[in-house]
Amino acid sequence: MAVRIVAAMEGMEEAIERLKEGKLVAFPTETVYGLGADARDADAVARIFTTKGRPATNPLIVHVADVAAARDLAGEWTPVADELAAMYWPGAITLVVRKTDAIPAVVTAGGGTVALRVPDHPVALEMLRRSGVPVAAPSANRSEQVSPTTAQHVADSLGQYADDLLILDGGACRVGIESTVVDATGGTPRLLRPGMMHIFHANAGESVPTSGDDTPRSPGQMARHYAPAVPVHVLPAKRLRKDRVAGDGVIQRVVVGQPAPEPSSNVQWLPPDPDGYAAGLYTALRLLDAAGVSRILVEEPPRGPRWDAIHDRLRRAATPKTDVQ
Ligand code: TXA
Ligand code: MG
């Protein structure tokens, strides 16, 4: 069988063996599931790109067990990297630093920097610690599509494309959207991709642009990304009620203090707070996509720093296919 889902506790031993043999393992992190291989093994990493259908120009994040393992892979471990790692790792923040020769060019899309992260998930940490392998892993979905937050999502996304994949099942991801990515090569941190690491965003204050189109791009970050197969439109509540037609799927926010209405095959309800909303967003998009709706209308969430990453992902999900860069 091309894809196997195994409970993390039962599959750990085999996962570690597979990494050492240059094979692929999908594993849970606190953000989303990753599609991993030994970052030092160029052939193994190349299989990640073919399985995802990912352009070779989009570099990968390397997951490590601790700060010491990160420093080993960094050509230069800057004071900024050191400070951010001490404050936020293990956690949903990825630090871009200069790389060493241990990291092959395929991981970094030919660039001289590498993105590093210590994930805050017991399964990922156990796999990294016990194997001693630095694991290159993008989100475990086909390129441009919605990131997986359960083991079943991984199987749904990659089942037809993977020759041989073990998926460690660690349940649903707590955070639900991808990590904050920060360039730590210079004297001040620069935000490359917003995430749900609110303390970082609050502490970084004005030294880091908070969101919007001015955000410096990571190589390979595309306008259309995190996107379901059907068109997505983000609309203010009033507009949504006016524009909605039969066949549309809808994502709405529960009103604060009120119980969540029953979901239906074409209406998904998300919690009113940003953390709850982020945790449920990708599942809601997937359920509506699978229900065969003709469009997905998303009630525009509130603004504010805690909602930045959510707006970023919704904007990319709503970018039409013709606008792909
Ligand atoms: O939460 C996450 O970050 C998940 C889990 C599995 O850790 N991973 C993830 O990977 O979202 P991926 O490949 O879907 O996104 C990685 C992002 C991309 O936007 C990529 O351009 C950026 O990190 N990136 C990777 N290496 C980089 C580098 N050397 N310089 C700048 N950006 C980089
Ligand atoms: Mg991704």
Tell which wins on pLDDT, 2 or 51.
51
Structural contact between residues 262 and 291, judged by C-beta atoms closer than 8 angstroms: no
Cα dihedral sign, 33-49-65-71: negative
103 lines ligand 1 (CB under 6 A): no
User: How close is the Cα of 121 to the center of ligand 1, in Å?
Assistant: 17
Ligand of minimum distance to the alpha carbon of 64: 1
Tell me the per-residue pLDDT of 81-108, one tens digit each, with 9 for 90 and over.
Answer: 999 999 999 999 999 999 999 999 999 9
Q: For residue 99, which atom of ligand 1 is closest to its CA?
A: 29
Checking if the pLDDT of 325 tops 80, the result is no
The pLDDT value recorded for residue 160 is 93
Q: Ligand 1: which of 94, 96, 196 to mutate, judged by most atoms within 8 Å of the beta carbon?
A: 94
Q: What is the mean pLDDT of residues 134-159?
A: 96
Q: What is the mean pLDDT of residues 154-177?
A: 96
Checking if the pLDDT of 206 tops 60, the result is no
User: How close is the Cα of 193 to the center of ligand 1, in Å?
Assistant: 9
Ligand of minimum distance to the alpha carbon of 33: 1
The pLDDT value recorded for residue 215 is 47
Tell me the per-residue pLDDT of 264-305, one tens digit each, with 9 for 90 and over.
Answer: 889 999 999 999 999 999 999 999 999 999 999 999 999 999
Q: For residue 220, which atom of ligand 1 is closest to its CA?
A: 21
User: What DSSP character marks residue 268?
Assistant: E
Residues 258, 142: Cα–Cα separation, whole Å: 37
145 lines ligand 1 (CB under 6 A): no
For the CA atoms of 51, 54, 58, 60, the dihedral, rounded to the nearest 10 degrees, stands at -20
Residue 188's contacts (CB-CB under 8 Å, 6 or more residues apart) are: 80, 207, 208
**Which residues belong to CATH 3.90.870.10 in the chain?**
3-204
* CB under 5 Å of ion ligand 2: residues: 139
> Half-sphere exposure of 22 toward its Cβ, with a 13 Å CA cutoff?
8
CATH topology assigned to domain 3-204:
DHBP synthase (3.90.870)
User: How close is the Cα of 94 to the center of ligand 1, in Å?
Assistant: 8
The pLDDT value recorded for residue 221 is 65
The pLDDT value recorded for residue 1 is 56
Q: For residue 33, which atom of ligand 1 is closest to its CA?
A: 6
In the numeric block, the tokens 């990160």 are attached to 70
228 lines ligand 1 (CB under 6 A): no
CA angle 238, 243, 245 (to 5 degrees): 130
Q: What is the pTM of this model?
A: 0.94
The pLDDT value recorded for residue 210 is 44
Percentage of residues in the chain having pLDDT higher than 90:
85
Q: What is the mean pLDDT of residues 70-78?
A: 98
Structural contact between residues 171 and 150, judged by C-beta atoms closer than 8 angstroms: yes
Checking if the pLDDT of 37 tops 60, the result is yes
113 lines ligand 1 (CB under 6 A): yes
Model confidence at 262, pLDDT cuts 50, 70, 90, reads: confident
Tell me the per-residue pLDDT of 225-253, one tens digit each, with 9 for 90 and over.
Answer: 777 889 999 999 999 999 999 999 999 99
Q: What is the mean pLDDT of residues 22-29?
A: 98
Pairing assessment for the beta strands 74-76 and 165-169 based on DSSP bridges? unpaired
The pLDDT value recorded for residue 204 is 80
Average pLDDT score, the chain: 93
